[in-house]
Amino acid sequence: MNKAAIEVVDVKRSFKSVKKEEGWKGTMKLLFNPDYIVHDALKGINFTIPQGEFTGLIGANGAGKTTLLKILSGLIPASSGSARVLGYDPFKRELAFRKSISIVMGQKAQLWWDLPAIEAFDLLRAIYQIDKDTYKKRVDELTTLLDVTKLLNTQIRRLSLGERMKMEVIGAIIHLPKVIFLDEPTIGLDVLASQKLREFLKRHNQKEGATIILTSHNMDDISELCKRILLIKEGSVLFDGDPHTLTNSDECLLKVKLGTEPSTEELSGVVGIVATAIIKDEEDPTTYLMNVTRSRVAEYFQKLLTKYSVADIGIQEPSLERVIQRIYQQ
Amino acid sequence: MSTTAISNPAGSSKLAWQVEWRFAAIRNGMRDALAYRGDFIINFLSSALVPVAIQLILWYSIFTASGKTEFAGMTYPELLAYTWTSLLFSQIRGGNYDFDLIEMIRTGNLSTYLVRPVGVVAFTFFRGFGEKLATTGLCFLLGIIAIYFTQYHIHHFIMGMMMALLGNVIAYLFSSTLSASAFYWENAFAVLMVKNMFVSLFSGELIPLSIVPEQYAWVWKSTPFYLFVYGPTQVALGKWDTQIWANNMLIGFAWLTVFWITLEASWRYSIKRYQGLGG
């Protein structure tokens, strides 16, 4: 195993905020005697990421993903516990640490809106002390790979979202950081732009050996790029491992098209599985998707035949998105 | 790994790097300011001409109504000269980068800068200073043209310009210290608004500070604000000689040191409260 790039031991983080009650009474109370709410965003997180690993950090909104990234990139301190990135305490924000990391925030522009990307890159060259020849070669290589060479002299504000995000990614990795934090880099991008960015990130990870943590709600990003996922729910790690172990379980989706339109509750009673594991197809009300155990498919099929006429039947592998959705609902 | 994270060119010292990124930030700020040249000129004219027009009308009314030839030791032509010269220096002082800092803290955009290997306050200053240099260049050009048609001296104007630039740095350090209040208070803009009010009054931007009665002069003299507009104007108009200029430059550097220390302390302490809001 490679040396650890990131080590997180029992990291907790709480946020204190003012509670505002409704109406004038609440406003006056806020002025003279405010109440505070303490929200535990992270409740004791533990993991280690070896150098060069591409890890996915997934979870619902408010699960604590971005808070964790902020702690690891040194933006905010942990309330307790210890986080080390490349051996540094992130919140000390030592110069060598800041030169070795990078963060891309899909919802925040990091380049200057009114300037063309090439001028922003030139400033980053000076900030990260990259010699001019290396810089030119690198900009040329990265922009060619992402197909944005012709846009280098266009103002950032005039670029499309996908083009801007590609420039943001180039700006974030131009100094070849050893650790990269990507916070929803494909948010709002179309299929083609997302795919191009994924291919680029995969190549960069393999070529440069950078350790990358990616948060995304797009499961294509996760399944294509990450060999490992950390699934976070309400500030705790629910799952830590290979995403394929989640989808390669004994579960599968049984898709059936019936001659009638029974309710999911009725179908649940006939087949003997919980109603929440059955979904009625919105476009075709006679088609149902059932989350079932693979080894018992024949048994369920027989039960269906006792009550209904079955027009069609098929088995689908569960998508990562669906598996995670189910874990979240449990 | 194929390459090291940061290349370190031969002979490139830490000092050279410190100088290089600052110049790059200034250059970047200047380009940003000049990205929309029409906007730049309109901003310059609108922020300068309206206050000047008000002052000119005001002084004309005062002199006409009172029938006096001198007011607070200044003749009407001297007041006109003060108004026009102070207009140029008031364009150099300040800038919006203190407001930018508060906005960055409030919205979480500060995160973008905190992860970079440069000081966020210094970086914002040098970028803002770059923007201000574009304005300074225009003011300098207008000043030179004006001097050509009048009896004033170019070296006085340059000395005044130097004081105004020192004032700009002091203004930024002071404002940035105040902007740290945004770590505690969400709408800290009010602090800067109040500050701007005091600065307008005590910098000599609205009225020549020589109008203030002698017994109250200690009020403006005990702030650094007069170094922003009033001091440079007095130097440019030849009212302050080289000795007074040098003394006030020293006072300016003392203020700069004080505000540098308060700025470092306030940010070092307050940054612990940063939450990086906004996703």
State how many domains chain A has.
2
Do A46 and A126 sit in the same domain of this protein? yes
Distance (Å, whole) CA A41 – CA A236: 9
What is the residue range of A293's domain?
Answer: 249-329
The residue with greater pLDDT, B34 or B224, is B224
Residue B70 DSSP symbol: E
Residues of B in contact with A110 (CB under 8 A): 112
In sequence order, which residues have a C-beta less than 8 Å from that of residue A118 and are 6 or more positions away? A139, A152, A153
Q: Which helix or strand (DSSP H or E) is residue B259 part of? A: helix B242-270
pLDDT at B43 over 80: no
Q: So what's the pLDDT on residue A296?
A: 86
Q: So what's the pLDDT on residue B10?
A: 42
- What is the least distance, in Å, from the CA of A132 to any CA of chain B? 9
Q: So what's the pLDDT on residue A213?
A: 95
Which residue in chain B has the smallest CA separation from A127?
B21
Say if A79 is an interface residue toward chain B (CB within 8 Å). Answer: no
Residues of B in contact with A177 (CB under 8 A): 5
Q: So what's the pLDDT on residue B3?
A: 34
Instruction: Summarize pLDDT for B160-173 with one digit per residue, the tens.
Output: 999 998 998 899 89
Which residue in chain A has the smallest CA separation from B11?
A131
Residues of A in contact with B275 (CB under 8 A): 15, 76
Instruction: Summarize pLDDT for A30-89 with one digit per residue, the tens.
Output: 777 888 888 899 999 999 999 999 999 988 888 889 899 999 999 999 999 999 999 999
Is the CB of B6 less than 8 angstroms away from the CB of A115? no
Q: Which B-chain residues 116-135 have CB contacts (< 8 A) with chain A?
A: 116-118
Residues of A in contact with B2 (CB under 8 A): 207-209
ipTM of predicted assembly, 2 dp: 0.76
Say if B6 is an interface residue toward chain A (CB within 8 Å). Answer: yes
In sequence order, which residues have a C-beta less than 8 Å from that of residue A3 and are 6 or more positions away? A50, A51
Q: So what's the pLDDT on residue B279?
A: 57
- Rg (chain A; Cα; Å): 24
Side-chain half-sphere exposure of B176, counting CA atoms within 13 A? 30
Instruction: Summarize pLDDT for B125-168 with one digit per residue, the tens.
Output: 888 888 788 778 888 888 888 888 888 888 898 999 999 989 98
The residue with greater pLDDT, A219 or B10, is A219
Q: Which A-chain residues 176-205 have CB contacts (< 8 A) with chain B?
A: 176-178, 183
In sequence order, which residues have a C-beta less than 8 Å from that of residue B56 and are 6 or more positions away? B80, B83
A215-239 burial: b if 16+ Cβ within 10 Å, else e: bbbbbbbbbbbbebbbbbbebbbbb
Q: So what's the pLDDT on residue A2?
A: 63
Q: Which B-chain residues 92-121 have CB contacts (< 8 A) with chain A?
A: 108-109, 111-112, 114-118
First to last CA, chain B: 31
- Rg (chain B; Cα; Å): 21
Distance (Å, whole) CA A225 – CA A214: 9
Do A312 and A189 sit in the same domain of this protein? no
- What is the least distance, in Å, from the CA of A241 to any CA of chain B? 24
A186-209 burial: b if 16+ Cβ within 10 Å, else e: bbebeeebbebbbebbeebbeebb
Do A231 and A112 sit in the same domain of this protein? yes
Three-state SS string over chain A comes to CCCEEEEEEEEEEEEEEEECCCHHHHHHHHHHCCEEEEEEEEEEEEEEEECCCEEEEECCCCCCHHHHHHHHCCCCCCCEEEEEECCECHHHCCHHHHHHEEEEECCCCCCCCCCEHHHHHHHHHHHCCCCHHHHHHHHHHHHHHCCCHHHCCCEHHHCCHHHHHHHHHHHHHCCCCCEEEEECCCCCCCHHHHHHHHHHHHHHHHHHCCEEEEECCCHHHHHHHCCEEEEEECCEEEEEECHHHHHCCCEEEEEEEECCCCCHHHHHHHHCCCHHHEEECCCCCCEEEEEEEHHHHHHHHHHHHHHCCEEEEEEECCCHHHHHHHHHHC
Distance (Å, whole) CA B232 – CA B255: 16
Do A229 and A284 sit in the same domain of this protein? no
Residue A8 pairs in a beta bridge with A47, A83
The residue with greater pLDDT, B214 or A85, is A85
- Pair of tokens at residue B150: 């009048």
What is the rounded average pLDDT of the residues B209-232?
Answer: 90
Residue B8 pLDDT grade (very low, low, confident, very high; cuts 50, 70, 90): very low
CATH number at residue A174: 3.40.50.300
Say if A291 is an interface residue toward chain B (CB within 8 Å). Answer: no
Q: So what's the pLDDT on residue B7?
A: 43
Is the CB of B24 less than 8 angstroms away from the CB of A100? no
Residues of B in contact with A119 (CB under 8 A): 28, 31
What parts of chain A have a pLDDT lower than 50?
none
- Pair of tokens at residue A64: 């604590």
- What is the least distance, in Å, from the CA of B7 to any CA of chain A? 5
Q: Are A77 and B272 in contact (CB under 8 A)?
A: yes
pLDDT at B6 over 50: no
- What is the least distance, in Å, from the CA of A160 to any CA of chain B? 19
What is the rounded average pLDDT of the residues B167-180?
Answer: 90
- Pair of tokens at residue A81: 């516990």
Lowest mean pLDDT among A52-56, A243-247, B2-6, B119-123: B2-6
What are the angstrom distances between the C-alpha of A291 and each of A285, A288, A309, A317?
17, 10, 20, 10
Q: So what's the pLDDT on residue A170?
A: 92
Distance (Å, whole) CA B190 – CA B186: 10
